[in-house]
Structure 1
Amino acid sequence: MKRMKLLNNFIAVFVLLIVTLLIVPLGTQVLDFMFILNLALSLIILLTTMYIKEPLEFSIFPSLLLITTLFRLGLNVSSTRSILTREGYAGEVIATFGHFVIQDNVAVGLVVFLIIVLVQFIVITKGAERVAEVSARFTLDAMPGKQMAIDADLSSGLIDEAQARERRSKIQREADFFGSMDGASKFVKGDAIISIVVTFVNLIGGLVVGLLNGQGDIGTIVSIYSTSTVGDGLMSQIPALLISVATGMIVTRSASDGDLNTDVIKQFTSQPLVLVIAGAALPLLCLIGFPVPQVLLLSALLLVGGTLLLRKSRAAVAALDQGPPVTEEVTSEVSFYKNLDNVYGLLNVDPIGVEVGYSLLPLVDQSSGGNFLDRIVMLRKQFADEMGMVIPSVRLKDSSQLNPNQYEIKLKGERVAVGEVLIDHYLALAPADGPDNIEGIETVEPAFGMPAKWISEDKKLRAEVAGYVLIDPTSVIITHLSELIRKHAWELLTRQEVKRILDNLKKTNDTIVDDTIPSSVSLNELHKVLRGLLREDIPIGDMETILETLSDYAPSVKDSDMLTEYVRQALRRTITRRFSEAGQMKVLSVDGGLENLILNNVKKLDGGAYLSLEPNTIQKIIAATTDKLTQMKKLVQTPIILTSPVVRVYFKKLLDQFYPDVTVLSFNDIDSNVQIQSLGMIEI
């Protein structure tokens, strides 16, 4: 525990050490080690920015930029003190760099130094500063569009509240990160300016000190102090150049919840391969004369630490990948199907199946980073909360008969929908009141049939700023699957599933189950009622109310349609909540004469009743309904038709042949506290 506390406070101690560099003189060997540490740290930061997948993996970069800049400034002060007080000697690193670059030619050394400084200051730093500024502004402008996309996923059930909260937090941290980078890039710019000033101070101050101390003739003094000055400047500017390049790489990418000490340790150790590469590269510095002990010490620490972390991460991955023992492979298809049980296995039909082309395999393969199965799990939870029914297992498989970018959704072995997604694109829905000026591949959103377009990754930021709603390929498939399951839920509800629902209810209220099933109503009749509710998008989660209602009416009512109507009336609060908005419900009414016409043509039999109308009459009713629905869709998104209780079931069955998705409610289905607004009357 003490070791962990010390490790967690390492960065704070390191910053205090940097401050002491400005005050306390350092020995040349310590100064050599500090210069090598500065170079190694800059190399690790650069490599880390090249290996991370998204900016939040290195969210401490703005603060780290300040720390490394302060570290270089502290080394500049210490090396300047050493150059001026030790007759131009500031350690082997500076001396080696000075002799290696200058090659006994002061002019060449100064020119090389100035070129490096100008490249960093004018090219890299200036570009990174501009990109950081633009990215910060664009990120803030895009926040409303991202929030709308999260709210859309939450309302459609693709994510839960916790996931929505996490995504909102990530958006906020992205804005904080780019705002920090906009300011932090100024540190690099200031560092480049101060390096030029320090170089001239070292050179001019060294000449003055050398002349006053009588170190030799003017040529000797110029040679000594120019060599140490250029070496010091290069040892400061090369790490600064690496940091500037890292800034340019990460500047367009967002921030973390942890403190700086924890994030530095976690995020550096999360990329062990970077430590290994940096440790292997450092010994090459010995070839140009760097002090061997300091280089090899730091290289060994990086190699050992990186190797241990790499082995640990590989062991963890291997443990996750290790599955149950593989059964013996069947070598003969003929011998396999000699067993009748294996033949009967071919008769099983999957309730829900999703087949994908080979280009979409990364979306559904967890080993490739796909989260499709996790999304299905969350869809199952959402559907159970909302509709009171558990979605059966979804079988995933690839299909060579589909196009590479196609997917196919099957219910009970038969195709019900086919769609196409582009794995490296986003489905963009244009804003309702804004211009549609983003280039892309025109398409139609498969779940709701809205016009959309596929846009590439490089246009994502522009589209978000313009107010587009962007949907990733996995969400497109999940949304399509969700809508199809909702539409066909009544088909997916089996008697076995009804039995499971009753068994689950028995855990909390076994009395109502035992008193109703099968004494008042059979499992078959209950199955029919529940399917009738789901067919009209009414949740069946309140099983206690459903069973109590059936227990009251089933002994005297034998028609399952009428039983369903009584259950609907008992669930009026649920129906009202589902189809009303802000305490209001906009509907189309049915004329009393039309209702009487329907009632007069209802034929009752022992097992139920059916509607018997002339074809011409049916045509007139549908034509009148079509006209009113067309007018209503201009005002509301989901049309609702309101009828009297005795007519509702027959009118709904009549419309199902032409408009299966239209909601038909009766007055008894609606709670009394809802304000009903009629937008028209269906009459013939």
Structure 2
Amino acid sequence: MSSAAAKTGFVTAMGGIALPLGILAIIAMMVLPLPVVLLDIFFVGNILLSLVILMVALYCYRPLDFSSFPNLLLIATIFRLALNVASTRIVLSEGHTGHDAAGKVIEAFGAFVIAGNLIVGILVFTILVIINLVVITKGASRVSEVSARFTLDAMPGKQMAIDADLNAGLLTPDQARLRRAEVAAEADFYGSMDGAGKFVKGDAMAGILILAINIIGGILIGTIQHDLGLSEAAHSYVLLSIGDGLVAQIPALLLSIATAIIVTRVSSSHDMSGLIAKQIHLRQAWLPVAGVMAIIGLVPGMPNAMFLVGAAAAGVLAWFGRPDVTPELEEETAAQGGPAAPGTDATRPGTEAITAEDVTDHAPVSLQIGYGLIPLAGEGGGALVQRITAIRREVSKAMGFVVPGVRIRDDLTLSPNQYRIRIGQVIRGEDVVYPDRKLAIPGASSTRKLKGIDVKDPSFGLDAVWILPHQLPEAEADDHVVVEPESVIATHLSQLLYKHAADLIGPDDVQLLLDTLARISPTLVNAVVPKVVPLHTVTAVLRGLLSERIPIGDLRRILEGVAELAPRNLSAADMAEALRPMLIPLLLQQMVPINTPLPLITLDPELEQLLIRARRQGEEGLVLDNGLAATLVKSISEALDNAQGQGKQAVLIVAGQLRRSFAQFLRPHLPDAIVMGINELPDNRRVEVVAAIGGQQQLPRVPTPQPQPQMTPMGADR
């Protein structure tokens, strides 16, 4: 252990012992009589403690830097009141013996302030109490009350902003945890300060009462018990009472000032003196001050020399003052456009040389927006951030793993209304939205052509138009679907997250899923990974499933299947293909309700045999004639669009041995098409064939349920 750490530990241990002992000593002071010497020492210590608290309040950068202030204020107040009790006991019991009966400190304060005039002493003490109680304490209490109210009211919003930044990838979990703790500490601090102000107010009122008790009680004790004259008793006891009151009231005034400074403090990178000096050192402010002071200095009858000296001093401050630019703008100018300092990168003024962090972005998902779209993100989390958070939650539940946070950044290289979506380092989508407009998509019964900016919907490729807000009633009356700009971006992002889910999961994410499953099925996880199948193989299998939109939420069944397939020495792609039949129901239940027939698109038997033979001829994928391939893609696309027009999400059914090759063939042309093998159809789902694809044409059929020979629960037909 280093010497510094040892010293810190020793100080902490001593502080932990000294504080309880000190509080017990304070309580004892209220009950047990104190020697005069100890009373003087404690009075000096009280002033010392008050000055230290005031100086710390002046030099802290933000209120939370002195979060122990309410506790110190309580301890200092109790300490001072205990001294008042102890000194009152001595003043009333020994005051008849002379002015030094209560110690040198009380005598010195009384003699210095009173200067032989008791009325002056009482008035000075009264003025100090009025300043403390009416001006400083009352104002500080009001500021504390308002700060506590607004801080507590803003706490939910701050927590939501932290959650939004965390979901957007702007904060790490550790940073978010620290931010939440800081928000909670801020609320506790201002709540405590609201109550701490009452300590100061009560202390000032107690000072008045203690002074009155000392004066009245002292005069009565002196005249009745000690046979002093009224004038002599009044002089002795008033002197001691006022000295006692001043010794207590001056530290109380210091603590009141510290309280006011803390509650009015604004968080900054400077202490209070530095912040004030930086903000008032303004040339345009000091020039008129110098002029007014000079004019007053030329008026006959005024102390001209003093005012002219003041004018000269203001002129000097104006000469050395800064121009009318706020410190924030100065810092921004220095960071963005200042001259390049020696040793810095000339292409980036004011910064150090380019580092790896400047050119590397490790965000799994990032959304880059032009400066015109910044209002959609908003300060602390706008509508766009909230929509993206909801999209992440939805995709995570649907796919069975936690989708990484989306990092939102402005990019000056983009046009003002352009956005760009990256998965890793690859641009997966980009488009243009208009934050002051709304996107209107025509419905089936729409007949009117709306005025606006004609575009294609980025998510589904539908014809759409960006309209102005006042056109909203017209669009809704003509069966248009009206979408907000942030919803357009979020929906586009959602489509890309589903499509590229396989790129969003890695070994670390898989290990997290396994650790979560191990809490429920520890034997299964420990027996399979890595004893039977290594982690990278499980990751590859899960990626293969996600690439086909198969959810991986049922990880227990996936591990059980992988354990059964492991002895066959299959590749990860073959394992994923073999696991599909038991996982297909997870996909289908997201597409079509369980009680609704599943829309199917089938292939003509002759076409299917042709494709099987084409598969056998090629080593990978299908080997088709260009004309046949184009016709096949067009026919399937039209069949899917027709089904979608009827509100159905159809599935293409092919022979089991053809499924993987045919899915790979369609993926570049129809990435959203779902291709299933006939062997993957669940036994408990009813189906209907909505179209059959021939060699050169599409042969639509009437959508009727297809009977299946298997039994279904409750005797339902398939």
TM-score by length of 1: 0.49
Q: Which has the larger radius of gyration?
A: 2
